[in-house]
Amino acid sequence: MNAIISASELASDLAGPNPPVLLDVRWQLSVAKAAGEPPFDGRAAYEAGHIPGAVFVDLDRELASAPGGKGRHPLPDTGEFGAAMRRAGVSSGRPVVVYDGGQGWAAARAWWLLRWTGHPDVRVLDGGLTAWEGPSETAVPDPAEGDFSPAPGALPLLDADGAAALARSGVLFDARAGERYRGEVEPIDRVGGHIPGAVSAPTTENVGPDGRFLPAEELQARFKALGAADGRDVGVYCGSGVSAAHEVLALAVAGIPAALYVGSWSEWSSDPSRPVAVGPDPQ
């Protein structure tokens, strides 16, 4: 099953006999507080217009637990996540399509969580809402309760020790911008740099100017050139496990399975005992 769906394919599926559950996960990484600006309001954007039938999902409240020692976006409580998905109408026997405003990071986080907890049929709208050319609505739907029951473990997951080990035994991609990987800037976390041994692979390079994923063969060539070849185990981290989910999705499009380090740099860097590498060299 392809992990992404085009806008035209989605329009066709919505008109078909078994339309997917639609989840709207508009979210933006915000450093607005430091600038004195109001943070992005995904729900307000959703209420101003969304794909007909879509249900809003709050990334910070429903796709993550409270920030702390495990990072800025730790895994949500499984029971609470399952309840949120059932409220949104998610059932195991019905396909799900997730979208966001176009960046793809938040939608990928929802995709990863649903797949990790065992949902068999989840896709991300390639290009997000900006790729959608169909109608929109402002009405908030009231879907029938779904029956989805999370069963974690269907996708590989890394903790801090596992990420450190994989950076030595396989390939660990750092999906953040190159300047954050190198430690030249760090706008959010305690210290800049990267996990020793990790390879810089910014997630922004997985998409074209229109925000849609590069063709599978181009993604495959990119990741193989970065070390994801010869059957090596692959893992990904970012700042807090959101953009890294987008890279795991890009790897899936390329046919390369990868584990996600959810705690990512926000967890790793919070512990002064963990080593930090700086500069362009992985080590």
Task: Per residue of the chain (283 residues), give pLDDT as tens.
Answer: 699 999 999 999 999 999 999 999 999 876 545 556 677 888 999 999 999 999 999 999 999 999 999 999 999 999 999 999 999 999 999 999 999 998 899 999 999 999 999 999 999 999 999 999 999 999 999 999 999 999 999 999 999 999 999 999 999 999 999 999 999 999 888 899 999 999 999 999 999 999 999 999 999 999 999 999 888 999 999 999 999 999 999 999 999 999 999 999 999 999 999 999 999 999 8
Position 32 scores a pLDDT of: 47
Greatest distance between any 2 Cα atoms in the chain: 55
Q: Which residues contact 200 (CB under 8 A, 6 or more apart)?
A: 173, 174, 178, 181, 182, 194, 280, 282
How far apart, in Å, are the Cα atoms of 126 and each of 167, 226, 227?
30, 24, 26
The neighbour count for residue 236, using CB atoms within 10 Å, is 30
Strands 171-174 and 234-237: parallel
Position 198 scores a pLDDT of: 98
Counting Cα atoms < 13 Å in the Cβ hemisphere of 129 gives 24
Position 222 scores a pLDDT of: 98
Position 194 scores a pLDDT of: 97
In this prediction the pTM is: 0.95
Four-point Cα dihedral 62, 65, 66, 70, nearest 10: -150
Task: Pick the closest to residue 81 from 262, 268, 264, 278 (CA basis).
Answer: 262
Active site residue: 238, 242, 259, 277, which one? Answer: 238
Three-class secondary structure of residue 235 per DSSP: strand
Question: In this structure, what are the phi and psi dihedrals at residue 149, rounded to the nearest 5 degrees?
Answer: -120, 110
Position 283 scores a pLDDT of: 87
Position 209 scores a pLDDT of: 93
E strands present in the chain: 4-5, 21-24, 55-56, 96-99, 122-125, 157-158, 171-174, 199-200, 234-237, 259-261
Position 29 scores a pLDDT of: 73
Q: Is 234 a catalytic residue?
A: no
